[in-house]
Amino acid sequence: MNEDRVLVRVEGLKKYFPITRGILIQRQVGAVQAVDGLTFDIYRGETLGLVGESGCGKTTAGRTILLLYRPTAGRVIFDGVDLTVLKGEALRRMRRRMQMIFQDPFASLNPRMTIARIIGEPIRVHKLAANRKEEIERVQELLRLVQLNPRFINRYPHEFSGGQRQRIGIARALASNPEFIVCDEPISALDVSIQAQIVNLLEDLQDQLGLTYLFIAHDLSMVRHICDRVAVMYLGRIVELAPKDELYDHPRCSRRSRCRTRRWNGAVGASFWRATSPARSTRRRAVGSAPAVLWPLSARTRSRSGGTWAGVTGWRAILRIANR
């Protein structure tokens, strides 16, 4: 593959979250190895799917690639520039070119801000409009782009339906004219009837604006529909990366009895195995929940952490970092 075609290069990316104990003096007693050495390329204009069971580190990977989390190790090279060595203004300039669409459109929109302010925020932060009038015009243009009525501009998030709110989230991501967008399960919180509309919108926007997507998802039929290549993640690592048809028609996992992806649980595991290996008579029942990415803590601490830490970092906190 031609080097020029690579927009994002991820090399040995790791993100460990420290686990500390103590009240006054905090000491580190371990680490959550959420992302543990990812290496892959994302090509210009493609949609790379990132799938895997809950807790395997997809969201952390997406956020670390955008440098919303500082990587523990490894590099993210965006359009030839190593983001991990950038700081301050230089990083902010690169951040304009990369955005994120969040899973929960309601939680990711500030309920006290009007749509004009929410979508206008990246425009102001990155100084993309000369004055207030130009900013409003740009917000209205973005609302039209995501097929919302520009007259909604002074409404608040609670006045919209789930699908409309996700369109606002998409408009917000587009406000800084990005080239690369991490879509973190953008449809999983939506009603089934709305999901296809949002996916079609994302596809139209990609054609229109030449966007590159990292599409994190659980719904494998949707991944097959929208993605060009698919990466399967397990325990913070990529266990398989292939063009979608190859992955679905000839998954390595069905040939390798001990492949980790087989442990996918719930609907994901079931639908994946139904879709990929219909003839398998020895399909193992999916077991377990969040993978044990904690080290070196006890099983008790592990299960406790799986439930609470994932929710520690709120969407809005992340948005604040994105706009710094």
Ligand X SMILES: Nc1ncnc2c1ncn2[C@@H]1O[C@H](COP(=O)(O)OP(=O)(O)OP(=O)(O)O)[C@@H](O)[C@H]1O
Residues that bind Mg ion (CB under 5 A): 59
Q: In the complex, what is the shortest distance from the CB of residue 55 to Mg ion, in angstroms, rounded to a whole number?
A: 8
Residue 157 binding result from Mg ion, ligand X, none, given CB thresholds of 5 to 8 Å by partner type: none
The reply to whether 51 sits near ligand X by the rule CB under 6 A is no
Stretch of residues binding ligand X (CB under 6 A), selected from 1-9, 54-62, 144-152, 280-288:
54-62
The SS3 call for residue 267 is helix
Contact 158, 134 (CB under 8 A): no
The reply to whether 306 sits near ligand X by the rule CB under 6 A is yes
Stretch of residues binding ligand X (CB under 6 A), selected from 51-59, 87-95, 207-215, 240-248:
51-59
For residues 271 and 274, give the distance between their C-alpha atoms in angstroms, rounded to a whole number. 5
Q: Which of 123, 109, 122 is CA-nearest to residue 156? A: 109
Token look-up 């997406």 returns: 62
Restricting to residues 134-153, which ones interact with ligand X according to CB under 6 A?
A: none
Stretch of residues binding ligand X (CB under 6 A), selected from 73-81, 242-250, 276-284, 304-312:
304-312
Closer CB to ligand X, 113 or 290, in the complex: 290
Among 8, 13, 17, 165, binds ligand X (CB under 6 A): 17
CA atoms within 13 A on the CB side of 231: 23
CA atoms within 13 A on the CB side of 161: 9
Contact 34, 95 (CB under 8 A): no
Residue 293 binding result from ligand X, Mg ion, none, given CB thresholds of 5 to 8 Å by partner type: ligand X
Per-position x/- string for 239-278, each x denoting binding to ligand X as judged by CB under 6 A, each - no binding = ----------------------------------------
Q: Which of 167, 150, 228 is CA-nearest to residue 202? A: 167
The reply to whether 313 sits near ligand X by the rule CB under 6 A is yes
Contact 305, 290 (CB under 8 A): no
Helix segments in the chain, DSSP class H: 58-65, 88-95, 115-125, 132-145, 162-174, 192-209, 220-226, 244-249, 252-255, 266-276, 299-308, 315-322
Residue 43 binding result from Mg ion, ligand X, none, given CB thresholds of 5 to 8 Å by partner type: none
Q: Determine the angle formed by the axes of helices 132-145 and 115-125, rounding to 10 degrees.
A: 110
Q: How many CB atoms within 10 Å of residue 269?
A: 20
Closer CB to ligand X, 18 or 80, in the complex: 18
The reply to whether 309 sits near ligand X by the rule CB under 6 A is yes
The reply to whether 32 sits near ligand X by the rule CB under 6 A is yes
Closer CB to ligand X, 34 or 42, in the complex: 34
Among 7, 10, 56, 226, binds ligand X (CB under 6 A): 56
Closer CB to ligand X, 47 or 305, in the complex: 305
Among 41, 48, 60, 244, binds ligand X (CB under 6 A): 60
For residues 211 and 132, give the distance between their C-alpha atoms in angstroms, rounded to a whole number. 27
The reply to whether 293 sits near ligand X by the rule CB under 6 A is yes
Residues that bind ligand X (CB under 6 A): 17, 32, 34, 52, 54-60, 290, 293, 305-306, 309-310, 312-313
